[in-house]
Amino acid sequence: MNEYFYLDGQKKQQGPVAAERLAALGVTDETLVWTSGMADWQPAGSLAALRHFLHSAQPPVPPIPPQGHAQGETNRSFSQGRPRPACPDSHMVGAVLVTIFCCLPLGIVAIVKANQVSSFYYHGDYDAALLASADASKWVKISIILGILSFCCGAGLAYL
């Protein structure tokens, strides 16, 4: 039996869940669902395989929040069965270059942040990967600016 993903009232992806549990989770005929083999999201009522489960009399049960996340915390995690969004840019090349040519201490911070991007991404935490990407970019830029300033100040002192 296929497991389905569905979009809840806030249009957040939930699942995968067995077809038998969809009605208990508040899925209606109009709720968009997706399962492996489907090209795109479709209303649950348009799928013959789900009609029996949606029209059985089961009281709705609120979904259980994922373990390890605080109530109300948003996390754009992705799960198996749905295509992953593209991995955010890690800025690793820039981090290595600024470490070698500009500013060693801050370049190392940029390398650590750049490494965290793929780590978070492959562990399914897309929000943390985006944040690490932004942090890596920030540290690369700070390193470049400080490297240029130190070069200019050093060159200026040489003429004195």
pLDDT in tens, 33-49: 999 888 899 998 888 88
pLDDT at residue 133, as a whole number = 92
Strand partners, 43: 32
Type and span of the H or E element at 15: strand 13-18
Asked if the model's pLDDT at residue 52 lies above 50, the reply is yes
Q: Which stretch of DSSP H or E encloses residue 3?
A: strand 3-7
The predicted-structure confidence for 106-150, as pLDDT tens digits, reads as follows 889 989 999 999 888 888 888 888 999 999 999 999 988 988 888
For 51, the token pair is 């009609």
| Three-class DSSP category at 42 | strand
pLDDT of residue 77: 54
| Predicted confidence (pLDDT) per residue in 67-99, tens digit | 554 444 445 555 555 666 788 899 999 899 988
| Size of the chain in residues | 160
Structure confidence at residue 132 (pLDDT): 92
Q: Label residue 10 by pLDDT band (50, 70, 90).
A: confident
The span from the CA of 10 to the CA of 46, in Å, is: 21
Q: Which residues have C-beta within 8 Å of that of residue 111, sequence separation ≥ 6?
A: 92, 95, 96, 99
How far apart, in whole angstroms, are the C-alpha atoms of residue 113 and residue 5? 32
Position with higher pLDDT, 160 vs 17? 17
**pLDDT of 139:** 92
CA distances from 148 to 99, 105, 128, 155 (A): 13, 15, 30, 10
pTM of this structure: 0.47
Long-range pairs for 111-114 at CB < 8 Å and ≥24 separation?
Answer: 113/139, 114/90
Burial class (CB in 10 A: 0-12, 13-18, 19+), 6: buried
Nearest to 112 by CA among 135, 85, 130: 135
